[in-house]
Amino acid sequence: MMITSQAWLWLSILAGAVSVGMAGYLYAWVNRQDPGSERAREVATWIREGATSYLRRLYSALGLLALALGVVIAIVFSLDIENLGLRTLQFDPSRGAVVAVAYVFGALCSSLAGYMGMSVAVAANVRTATAADDGLGPAFRVSFLGGAVMGLATVGIAVLGMSTIFMLTHDPEIVLGFSFGASGLALLAKAGGGIYTKTADIAADLVGKVEVGIPEDDPRNPAVIADNVGDNVGDVAGTGADIFDSYVASSVAVMLLGATVFSGNAVEQLRYTVFPLVLCTLGIVASILGLQFVRVSEGGKPGAALNRGTVVTCIIFAALATVVVWAGGYNLGALLATLAGLIAGVLIGFTSDYFTSPGQSPVTNTARVSGSGAAINIIMGFSYGLVSIVPSLIGIALSTLLSYTVAQHFGLSGVYGVGVAAVGMLSISGMIVSADAYGPIVDNARGIAEMAGMRHEIIEISDELDSAGNTAKAITKGFSISAAALTVLALFAAYAEVVAARGVELTISLRDPLVVAGTLLGAMTPPLFSALTMLSVTGNAFAMIEEIRRQFRERPAILEGKEMPDYAKCVGLAAQDALKSLIIPALLAVVFPVLIGLVLGPEALGGFLGGSIFTGVIFALFMANAGGLWDNAKKYIEAGAYGGVGSEAHKASVVGDTVGDPFKDTAGPSLNTLITVMSLVSSLFAPVIAVFHLL
Amino acid sequence: MMITSQAWLWLSILAGAVSVGMAGYLYAWVNRQDPGSERAREVATWIREGATSYLRRLYSALGLLALALGVVIAIVFSLDIENLGLRTLQFDPSRGAVVAVAYVFGALCSSLAGYMGMSVAVAANVRTATAADDGLGPAFRVSFLGGAVMGLATVGIAVLGMSTIFMLTHDPEIVLGFSFGASGLALLAKAGGGIYTKTADIAADLVGKVEVGIPEDDPRNPAVIADNVGDNVGDVAGTGADIFDSYVASSVAVMLLGATVFSGNAVEQLRYTVFPLVLCTLGIVASILGLQFVRVSEGGKPGAALNRGTVVTCIIFAALATVVVWAGGYNLGALLATLAGLIAGVLIGFTSDYFTSPGQSPVTNTARVSGSGAAINIIMGFSYGLVSIVPSLIGIALSTLLSYTVAQHFGLSGVYGVGVAAVGMLSISGMIVSADAYGPIVDNARGIAEMAGMRHEIIEISDELDSAGNTAKAITKGFSISAAALTVLALFAAYAEVVAARGVELTISLRDPLVVAGTLLGAMTPPLFSALTMLSVTGNAFAMIEEIRRQFRERPAILEGKEMPDYAKCVGLAAQDALKSLIIPALLAVVFPVLIGLVLGPEALGGFLGGSIFTGVIFALFMANAGGLWDNAKKYIEAGAYGGVGSEAHKASVVGDTVGDPFKDTAGPSLNTLITVMSLVSSLFAPVIAVFHLL
**Three-class HEC string of B608-632:** HHHHHHHHHHHHHHHHHHHHHHHHH
Q: How far apart are CA B433 and CA B441, in angstroms?
A: 13
pLDDT digits (tens, 9 = 90+) for B648-668: 899 999 999 999 999 988 888
pLDDT-based confidence at residue B33 (cuts at 50, 70, 90):
very high
Answer yes or no: are the C-beta atoms of B537 and B577 closer than 8 Å: no
pLDDT-based confidence at residue A28 (cuts at 50, 70, 90):
very high
Residue B40's SS3 state is helix
Exposure class string for B35-52: b at 16+ Cβ within 10 A, else e: bbbeebeebbebbbbbbb
Residue A332's pLDDT is: 93
Chain B residue numbers touching A398 (CB-CB < 8 A): 517
Judged by CB atoms closer than 8 Å, whether chains meet at A527 and B618 is answered as yes
Higher pLDDT, A280 or A493: A280
Residue B145's SS3 state is helix
Type and span of the H or E element at A452: none
Chain A residue numbers touching B516 (CB-CB < 8 A): 397, 400, 489, 610
pLDDT-based confidence at residue B21 (cuts at 50, 70, 90):
very high
CA angle B572, B576, B580 (to 5 degrees): 170
- Mean pLDDT across B615-624: 93
Answer yes or no: are the C-beta atoms of A400 and A352 closer than 8 Å: no
Q: Which of B244-248, B497-501, B615-619 has the lowest mean pLDDT?
A: B497-501
Residue A695's pLDDT is: 62
pLDDT digits (tens, 9 = 90+) for B344-382: 888 888 777 888 887 788 999 999 989 888 999 999 999
Judged by CB atoms closer than 8 Å, whether chains meet at A373 and B524 is answered as no
Amino acid at B656: G
For residue A493, give Cα distances in angstroms to A418, B125, B523.
9, 59, 20
Residue A332's SS3 state is helix
Residue A229's SS3 state is helix
Answer yes or no: are the C-beta atoms of A56 and A179 closer than 8 Å: no
Which residue from A422, A472, A392, A484 is spatially nearest to A183, judged by alpha carbons? A484
Exposure class string for A469-489: b at 16+ Cβ within 10 A, else e: bbbbbbbbbbbbbbbbbbbbb
CA angle A373, A377, A383 (to 5 degrees): 145
The answer, yes or no, to whether residue A384 has pLDDT greater than 90, is: yes
Residue B416's pLDDT is: 92
Mention every residue, 6+ apart, whose C-beta is less than 8 A from residue B88. Answer: B502, B503
Residue A91's pLDDT is: 55
Residue B58's pLDDT is: 83
The answer, yes or no, to whether residue B74 has pLDDT greater than 90, is: no
Q: Does B509 touch chain A (CB under 8 A)?
A: yes
Residue B85's pLDDT is: 45
The answer, yes or no, to whether residue B1 has pLDDT greater than 70, is: no
Q: How far apart are CA A619 and CA A613, in angstroms?
A: 10
* Contacting B residues, span 601-640, partner chain A, CB-CB under 8 Å: 606-607, 610-611, 614-615, 617-618, 622
* Contacting B residues, span 416-445, partner chain A, CB-CB under 8 Å: 418
Share of chain B above pLDDT 90, in %: 39
Q: Please give, rounded to a whole number of angstroms, the shortest distance from the CA of A375 to a CA of chain B.
A: 5
Q: How far apart are CA A147 and CA A136, in angstroms?
A: 16
Residue B87's SS3 state is coil
Which residue from B636, B626, B614 is spatially nearest to B662, judged by alpha carbons? B626
pLDDT-based confidence at residue B91 (cuts at 50, 70, 90):
low
- Mean pLDDT across A5-20: 95
- Mean pLDDT across B386-396: 92
Share of chain A above pLDDT 90, in %: 39
- Average per-residue pLDDT for chain B: 87
pLDDT digits (tens, 9 = 90+) for A37-93: 888 888 888 888 888 888 888 888 888 888 888 888 888 777 655 444 444 555 567
For residue A2, give Cα distances in angstroms to A7, A8, A326, B578.
10, 10, 10, 66
Judged by CB atoms closer than 8 Å, whether chains meet at A384 and B542 is answered as no
- Mean pLDDT across A202-213: 82
**DSSP state for residue A371 in the 8-state scheme:** G
Residue B80's pLDDT is: 55
The answer, yes or no, to whether residue A275 has pLDDT greater than 90, is: yes
Mention every residue, 6+ apart, whose C-beta is less than 8 A from residue A78. Answer: A91, A92, A93, A94, A95, A96, A97
As for the ipTM of the complex, it is 0.91
Chain B residue numbers touching A490 (CB-CB < 8 A): none
Q: Which of A365-369, B146-150, B447-451, B546-550 has the lowest mean pLDDT?
A: B447-451
- Average per-residue pLDDT for chain A: 87
Judged by CB atoms closer than 8 Å, whether chains meet at A521 and B397 is answered as yes
Residue B75's pLDDT is: 82
Residue A90's pLDDT is: 55
Residue B411's pLDDT is: 87
Q: Does A207 touch chain B (CB under 8 A)?
A: no
pLDDT digits (tens, 9 = 90+) for B329-340: 899 999 999 999
Q: pTM of the prediction?
A: 0.92
Q: Which of A494-508, A650-664, B49-63, B245-259 has the lowest mean pLDDT?
A: A494-508
The answer, yes or no, to whether residue A403 has pLDDT greater than 80, is: yes
**DSSP state for residue A566 in the 8-state scheme:** -
Residue B232's pLDDT is: 79
Chain B residue numbers touching A615 (CB-CB < 8 A): 523, 614-615, 618
DSSP bridge partners of B509: A509
Q: Does B150 touch chain A (CB under 8 A)?
A: no
Tell me the residue ranges of DSSP E strands in B498-552. none
Q: Does B528 touch chain A (CB under 8 A)?
A: yes
Judged by CB atoms closer than 8 Å, whether chains meet at B511 and A506 is answered as yes
Which range is most confident: B52-66, B193-207, B488-502, B512-526? B512-526
Judged by CB atoms closer than 8 Å, whether chains meet at A379 and B537 is answered as yes
Q: How far apart are CA B181 and CA A65, in angstroms?
A: 57
